[in-house]
Amino acid sequence: MIKVCIISCGMIANSAHIPAYRTFGNDFFISAVSDINENSARETAKRHGIPNFYVNAEEMLEKEELDALHICTPHYMHVPMAEAALAKGLAVFTEKPPAISWEQWKRFSGLEKKGFLSVCFQNRYIDAAKKLKSMVDSGET
């Protein structure tokens, strides 16, 4: 079982990412969520049966025994949160875009050397994208 925490409890975490983790059965366990808005963190944890919530992401990273961190923060926080998680040896899943400036992109693009890093580009999984990929792989294009 992979223990994961989620940073930021907005619409995308509640409507997409947390429900997506539930489709994996016991492969993933969401042990905590974090949001600077305490009510949002508390309500998200309650709504989804997540045992712990925090208002400070760094505290969550210190206290929780984790395998992975899922970052759903505002865009400008993706790189610093990914850096902090990778420094702790965690796998990192982040929402798009991965960076908001050229400077951030240069920092982000080197992070994969520090551990597992994935950006959630969900369009890879829609039927049209899968068909295009199969066409490219087969040489049709």
83-98 pLDDT, tens digit each? 999 999 999 988 787 7
39-68 pLDDT, tens digit each? 999 999 999 999 999 999 999 999 999 999
In contact, 41 and 53? CB cutoff 8 Å: yes
pTM for the complete prediction?
Answer: 0.78
pLDDT band at 71 (very low <50, low <70, confident <90, very high): very high
Q: How far is CA 113 from CA 91, 99, 137, in A?
A: 12, 17, 26
Average pLDDT estimate for 69-94: 89
- Mean pLDDT of all residues belonging to the chain: 88
- Give the integer Cα–Cα distance in Å for 21 and 31: 12
- Give the integer Cα–Cα distance in Å for 26 and 20: 12
**Can you give the pLDDT at residue 125?**
66
